[in-house]
Amino acid sequence: MKNRLLTVDDSKTVRILVKKAFKNCELDILEATNGVEGLSVASKEQPDLVLLDVTMPVMDGVEMLTRLKGDANTKQIPVIMLTAEGGRENVLKIAKLGIRDYIVKPFEEEVLVEKVGRVIDLNKREVHKTILDKVKVLLVEDKPAIVDAIKDGLSHLPWEFTAATKAYEGIDMYTDTDFDLVLMSLSLPNDAAFEVIRKMRSKRHGVPIIGMVVKIDSERQHKALQAGFDATVTKPIDLVELETRACRVMGVDTSPKYFQFKDKYMVIKVPQVCSMARISEMQSFLSPKVTEAVDSGYKMVVLDASESDDMDVNLIKFILDVFAACKEISLNCVIVGNEKLRKEGQGFEETKNWKILSSIEEVEVS
């Protein structure tokens, strides 16, 4: 049986961050938004660990902790504080009430996972799939044009699609095959998608399911998330967005999309559109990949921005981060970009002195 962790925090942001931190663990996450709710869930569900905030409306964390430890039914449940209240005096006072650990916000995911892992077994799942690996996708969609568009649009990935045009076909296929991902229309006749997800979840937990819904139908989007869909994408479907979201819910390592090891150097491939989410994704890989490059004997990093047309602030910031990371570890770094990018680069104080080569071939010659 999976361990259960109860997060008690009035901030939805923190509850999402907690869920995100444990996404690769076999762990059920329960939620409560204040001390009263927290006590009720703790008493009813008997979680294996409570992560507890201090400052909350209705009942704060200190009172909840006092009551939890004063109740014979719940006093054995271990508690880790996760709070912005971190003055020495406050920490000592709370520690006396009986806690296993104390984490002060802001917190790093790794620290949270490590401290929780000291108290309960996390059963971490091996994340072995990368974006270059085969992924089995079940597509439950009654519109053949959408099925074709998704298959064509994601044909650059080694993903294998099986399509079901009817709800019952989808359930049968899901029962017979171990899929890595389900993409399901929320517009199936008779609102069948909600019944299908219920049946799928009752047969097998843990397979991520994404709902596809018409953009303006926000009511159905909310209903889908409540019904247990891991994410939704809106129709007309943006295939880049679908790919990003699918990788995220499956926990697929997307770093090979951006970081590629060639014979003599590591290439950092900058996408055409550098949204903040993309930059954050690339930044999260930067330090380990640069370290991996040095460990593997590479001496140079090529930042390939030739597909990018826009020297915007996100891209400039990312390039500066790459320079800093390379400098710290004594790696050479060169930029490759197109003519438009080179011209735009002349216009900024931070970028006007950058030498931007026109192609990878030029890098090899130089």
Partner 1 sequence: MTNVISIPDDQVQTMVLNGLTDVFTTMLQGEIKLVSCKSLMDVAEGTAPLVGVEETLVVGNVGFAGAISGMVYIAMPESLAKEITGSMLGMDEDELEGEHEMINDAIGEITNMSAGAYKNQMSDLGYSCRLTIPSIIRGKYFVVEAAKAAFRQLYLFNYLGQPLSLELIMKMNDTFTD
Residues lying near partner 1 in the complex (CB under 8 A) are found at 10-14, 16-17, 20, 54-57, 83-90, 104-108, 218, 234, 238, 241, 244-245, 248, 275-277, 280-281, 283-284, 313-314, 317
DSSP 164: E
User: Taking the complex as a whole, how short is the minimal distance between the CB of residue 270 and partner 1, in angstroms?
Assistant: 17
User: Taking the complex as a whole, how short is the minimal distance between the CB of residue 59 and partner 1, in angstroms?
Assistant: 12
User: Taking the complex as a whole, how short is the minimal distance between the CB of residue 236 and partner 1, in angstroms?
Assistant: 12
**Count of Cβ atoms closer than 10 Å to residue 315 Cβ:** 23
What is the C-alpha to C-alpha distance for residues 192 and 166, in angstroms, rounded to an integer?
9
CB of 14 or CB of 137, closer to partner 1: 14
Quick one: 328 exposed, middle or buried, by C-beta within 10 A (0-12, 13-18, 19+)?
A: exposed
Beta pairing, strands 266-269 & 259-261:
antiparallel
User: How does DSSP assign 101-120, residue by residue?
Assistant: EEEESS--HHHHHHHHHTTS
CB of 80 or CB of 167, closer to partner 1: 80
CB of 88 or CB of 128, closer to partner 1: 88
CB of 77 or CB of 252, closer to partner 1: 252
What is the C-alpha to C-alpha distance for residues 94 and 88, in angstroms, rounded to an integer?
10
Tokens of 18: 């907690």
Triad 283, 287, 292: Cα angle to 5°: 130
Residue 363: closest CA among 265, 258, 285: 265
Give the bridge partners for 303, in sequence order.
268, 335
What is the C-alpha to C-alpha distance for residues 105 and 85, in angstroms, rounded to an integer?
8
Give the bridge partners for 101, in sequence order.
80
Question: What is the three-class DSSP state of 181?
Answer: strand
User: What are the phi and psi torsion angles at 164 (to 5°)?
Assistant: -120, 130
The residue whose two tokens read 């990878």 is 360
DSSP 180: S
User: Taking the complex as a whole, how short is the minimal distance between the CB of residue 138 and partner 1, in angstroms?
Assistant: 23
User: Taking the complex as a whole, how short is the minimal distance between the CB of residue 3 and partner 1, in angstroms?
Assistant: 24
Maximum Cα interatomic distance, the chain, rounded to a whole number of Å: 74
User: Taking the complex as a whole, how short is the minimal distance between the CB of residue 240 and partner 1, in angstroms?
Assistant: 9
Whether 301 contacts 339, CB under 8 Å: no
CB of 46 or CB of 111, closer to partner 1: 111
Question: What is the three-class DSSP state of 315?
Answer: helix
CB of 104 or CB of 127, closer to partner 1: 104
CB of 112 or CB of 171, closer to partner 1: 112
User: Taking the complex as a whole, how short is the minimal distance between the CB of residue 8 and partner 1, in angstroms?
Assistant: 14
User: Taking the complex as a whole, how short is the minimal distance between the CB of residue 82 and partner 1, in angstroms?
Assistant: 11
CB of 171 or CB of 186, closer to partner 1: 186
CB of 25 or CB of 171, closer to partner 1: 25
User: Taking the complex as a whole, how short is the minimal distance between the CB of residue 249 and partner 1, in angstroms?
Assistant: 11
User: Taking the complex as a whole, how short is the minimal distance between the CB of residue 289 and partner 1, in angstroms?
Assistant: 14
Question: What is the three-class DSSP state of 171?
Answer: helix
DSSP H/E element including 326: helix 313-328
CB of 82 or CB of 197, closer to partner 1: 82
